[in-house]
Structures are given as structure tokens and as C-alpha cells.
Amino acid sequence: MSQKINGVKGMNDLLPGEIEVWQFVENTARTLFGRFGYGEVRTPMVEDTALFVRSVGEETDIVGKEMYTFEDKGGRSLSLRPEGTAPAARAYIEHSVSNVEPVSRWFYMGPMFRYERMKTGRYRQFSQIGAEAYGAKEPAQDAELMDVVVQFLEALGLTDVTLNINSLGDDNCRPAYHAKLVEYLNAHRDELCADCQQRLERNPLRVLDCKNEKCQAVAGAGPNVLEFLCEPCRTHFTDLQRKLGALGIRYVVNHRLVRGLDYYTRTVFEFIASHPALGTASTVGGGGRYDKMMKGLGGPDVPAVGFAMGLDRLVLLLKEGGKTFTAQPDLFIVAADVDAACQDAALALTSRLRREGFYVEFDTRGGSLKSQMKRADKSGARFSLVLGGDELRTGQAKLKPMAGGDLIPVALGSVAQTLRQAASQPSSPPSLKTRE
């Protein structure tokens, strides 16, 4: 017997029945980003490894430990994208977009790859939705971006999510904070985990990001980055908070928030869910300002701010909410007779109603009346219609409301019209809609 081949560890299949909640999230995102004027960008899944090394940073977990890197047949070092900000920036620079428009606002969605230890909400192929705004250094841009996320979460019905914000300063004020932090952490070196002792040498800011409780306690009692901000950075941060207030967006200032990537300047933010289903993977998304990255990648001196949200975690939260996302058929057509004329007529009626915009089910295997009725029941269809010799002869049939109620007489030529009428009656559930 041949051996069964399984999918790759940490990479999931999404089958019909589960995909609908994903489509709901994706469609909601498309609608919202459109309203905010963000256009979709699609970049390849694979990039030159150097792109991530130079933007995300060699010392980060993502580049240091988690990247799927390989050599192609031409000897180039390529990597599966672990995140979407660097590829979008690369495309922005490559296509000289800043020459054409002063401000560009893009969003993307799709799979990212990181070789991580798997658990709930943490996979090796996962999906992100993200947005980037290029060309505006003003705090209004940071606020607008947070507003997209807030409205997106609202539209999904996810309310138990807290926005955390912080400022990391800039090249002018961060060095003083950095020096103080190193001094402090060195004094508490023995209390840090082995990873953090290494981080202390190479990238001390990352210690603030450690999930270990002891490290968090040490970091929490350490110097506060906000006390080191220079005047322009402080103004940027207070303006941002005023604007969030004007938008009615609730937030918490969290001076320990640094985020796992190297490229951030000034604003950083995270959206944290409190639902126990996510365990330690409670951050559903985050982002920040990266005013220096474009230049660092050989591009123009253009400021930027962006965020990314993990779809897998949003989907987990939505599933906890218990709503169903699968579509309900408007009608199930049952062919009462096994003869070819009846079967063909039922198939043709199904097709005609689908062309009219209805979701119609029909059992292509034929089978007994009883088995088809069973299937109609299971399908969750709002109505069923039995088509047999009598109906074909008289041109008259009956719509049966599957939830109970009187049969509705209908001429075979006007089933669509009757279905539409039934849908517009107040007693009908809202699911019976013609699709555009």
C-alpha cells in the first residue's frame, strides 16, 4: 500500500465550511480599506534574503531564527516572506512611486512564513492583513491608521481588544535612552533569561519584548522611554493622543511596548485581545512608524507608518463568538422521478434560478425522493420544491418553507419572482437574498 503524504507541519488547509469565516474577514477588510482610500498591493511570496536582513534586522527573532531561506538554482539566497512591510517598501522604491504621488496608502493580505514553535494562534504559514501609509510624517497619519484597525475590528464584531501605544523616539533622543537601558539591564543581568542575556549584548531593546515573566518584571521597573523623548518626538506623541481622543479611540500608553522589529521610530502600537482562547498569542496586530527604512533600503527619504494583523488569531476569536458564516441555500430542488425528462428539467430549473442570482442546491446523484428530501433538510435551505411528472405537465409546483408553514403555490415560470417576494416579507429571515 502506498504511504499517505501529509501537509507540512504548521501549515494548515482551509476547507469549505471553514473558509467562510476567512472570507468574511477578508471581505470586511477590503470594504474598509477601500473606504479609507487604501489600494491593494500584491508582491511575490519570495524575496531576496538581503531585503529582510536590512529592514527587519539581523538580530530579530524573525530574521535570526524564523526565516525560510534557501538557495535557488541560480545560487541566489531567497526567503519566503516573513512579513509584508519590507516587500511593500521594496516595491514602492522599485516603482519610484514617490515621484508620482506625495502620499501613497496601500494594503495587502496574504500568507507569511516563519519557522516558529507551533501552538494555538502560532503557525508556520499564517495570514496577515496589513496597511502602509507612505509620505506623511504627521501624527494624523498614525491616528488614521489606528482608526482603520479600530473600525475593522468593530465591523468584525470584536470589541474586547485594547490598543496599546508608545513612542520609541528617534535618532536624536533614543541613544540616551538606550545607554540608560543597557546600564540598568547590566545591573540586573542575573535576573534575565539566557536569551535576554544574549539580547543584552546585541539588541537590548528586545529584552522589553521578552515573554518571560521575570524578564518582564525587570523591564517594567527599568527606565521609561517616554521620559527620554526630545521635544519634537514628545509633541508628535501628545498630538497623536489628542487625535485619538478626537476620534473617540480608547488606548493605553504602555512604555514597555517596543515590537519585535528593528525598523521602528517614534510611534509603535499593538492591539491586544483579552480572550483566553488565544493563550499567550494575544496580540492580534501591531505596527508603527518607520521613517528611516526607505532610505536604509536605498530609496527616497520618505516617512512611513504601517501595521499588520494576524488573520489566524482574528478567525480564532470569531469562531469563539459562535456565529456561523456558511451561506444558506435559498432553495433545494428535488427531482421526484428517476426518468431522464424529470431529472433534466430539475437540473435546468436549478441552472436558470442560479443565473437569476439564487443559491440553489440539487442532488446530482438523483436517488429516491426520501433521500433527496433528507438532503434538502440537511442543507439548511429555506425552501424546497419537488419537481415530478405532475408539475411538469401542469407547469405548477409548490414551494415548501423548510422551517414549517403553508406550502406556497408557484408557476414554474415564476419561481424567481415568488422567492424574491418571500424574501421581502418581514417574517422571512434575512438570509434569503439574491446575490449581486
Residue stretches of the annotated binding site for L-histidine: 83-85, 114, 128, 132, 259, 263-264
The whole-angstrom separation of Cα 152 and Cα 21 is 15
Q: Stretches 123-131, 220-228, 250-258, 394-402: which one binds ligand ATP (CB under 6 A)?
A: 123-131
* Per CB under 6 A, 126 contacts ligand ATP: yes
Q: Stretches 29-37, 118-126, 218-226, 331-339: which one binds ligand ATP (CB under 6 A)?
A: 118-126
* Per CB under 6 A, 132 contacts ligand ATP: no
Select from 55, 63, 67, 83 the one that contacts ligand ATP (CB under 6 A).
Answer: 83
Q: DSSP string covering 320-364, please?
A: HTT---SPPPSEEEEE---SHHHHHHHHHHHHHHHHTT--EEE-T
Amino acid at 265: T
Select from 33, 38, 106, 123 the one that contacts ligand ATP (CB under 6 A).
Answer: 123
Cell 496601500, located at residue: 106
* Per CB under 6 A, 108 contacts ligand ATP: no
Nearest distance from residue 275's CB to ligand ATP, in Å? 13
Q: Is 406 exposed, middle or buried (0-12, 13-18, 19+ CB in 10 A)?
A: exposed
* Per CB under 6 A, 43 contacts ligand ATP: no
Q: Stretches 185-193, 310-318, 330-338, 399-407: which one binds ligand ATP (CB under 6 A)?
A: 310-318
Q: Which is nearer to ligand ATP, 169 or 285 (CB)?
A: 285
Of 278-307, binders to ligand ATP (CB under 6 A) are 281, 283-286
Q: Where are the beta strands (DSSP E) in 146-276?
A: 161-167, 252-253, 265-273
Cell of 353: 434560478
Strand-pair partners of 361: 332
Q: Which is nearer to ligand ATP, 13 or 231 (CB)?
A: 13
Sheet holding 125-134, edge to edge: 39-40, 104-113, 125-134, 304-310, 283-289, 265-273, 161-167, 252-253
The whole-angstrom separation of Cα 256 and Cα 429 is 49
* Per CB under 6 A, 313 contacts ligand ATP: yes
The whole-angstrom separation of Cα 7 and Cα 364 is 31
Q: Which is nearer to ligand ATP, 83 or 170 (CB)?
A: 83
Select from 47, 312, 330, 391 the one that contacts ligand ATP (CB under 6 A).
Answer: 312
Select from 308, 318, 342, 345 the one that contacts ligand ATP (CB under 6 A).
Answer: 308
The pairing of strands 161-167 and 265-273 is: antiparallel
| Shortest-Cβ-distance residue relative to ligand ATP | 310
Closest listed residue to residue 57, CA positions, set 78, 75, 82, 92: 82
* Per CB under 6 A, 122 contacts ligand ATP: yes
Closest listed residue to residue 209, CA positions, set 168, 153, 172: 168
* Per CB under 6 A, 166 contacts ligand ATP: no
Contacting positions for ligand ATP (CB under 6 A):
83, 114, 116, 121-123, 126, 128, 260, 281, 283-286, 308-310, 312-313
